Amino acid sequence: MGSKLTDPGNSCAGFSLVELVVVVAVLSVLAVGASLTTGHANRAQNDLRVFQQDFKRVASLSILGRETRGLGITPQGLTHYLRTDDGWSVVGSKRAWRGSVRSQTDFQSNALRSPNIVFMSNGQVSGFSVSFEPDRGPSLTCRLDEATGLSCE
């Protein structure tokens, strides 16, 4: 009564498989591009998080083990050290940074393989400043604060 029925043989209704594949491919490319962009922005945050975790772990190990430990910070990565009777020995393997990192420390050693942040068994830590440089935006910096310990901003 006034309504028209469509022809069930009409091939114009719906999407073809090719159209669906093209849409999925375009969305996939956009998703990968967005994740790569986000990954670059978070390099400094990830490096900062790694440094904070390792700082706390080495500080705890130094106090609990009643031994002198250290962290070596270079533009290439982060290395753990243990002070032995023979000098400094590397503990584990170097952790590479994902982004750009710069450090300034109070402890300067003449030895090639030695830390630049030293943790004493009594809880004292040598002074330092470590900057994590993002691809864009302000750098993130961690330093030793006498009152609160590790301070990152």
Domain-wise residue ranges, the chain: 43-152
Please tell me the pTM assigned to this model.
Answer: 0.70
Q: Torsions phi, psi of 13, nearest 5? A: -80, 140
Of 148, 76, 82, residue with least CA distance to 118: 82
Contact 61, 69 (CB under 8 A): yes
Q: What is the pLDDT of residue 20?
A: 76
In this predicted model, what pLDDT tens digit does every residue of 48-58 receive, in sequence order? Answer: 999 999 999 99
Contact 99, 5 (CB under 8 A): no
In this predicted model, what pLDDT tens digit does every residue of 112-136 receive, in sequence order? Answer: 678 989 999 999 998 899 999 887 7
Per the listing, tokens 């070596």 go with 72
Per the listing, tokens 């470590």 go with 130
- Split at pLDDT 50, 70, 90, the class of 78 is very high
CATH code of 43-152, in short, is: 3.55.40.10
Tokens of 11: 């091939």
In this predicted model, what pLDDT tens digit does every residue of 16-50 receive, in sequence order? Answer: 888 877 877 787 777 777 666 555 558 888 999 99
Q: Identify the three-state secondary structure at position 104.
A: strand
95 DSSP β-pair partners: 78
- Non-local (6+) Cβ contacts of 99 within 8 A are 43, 44, 46, 47, 132, 133, 134, 135
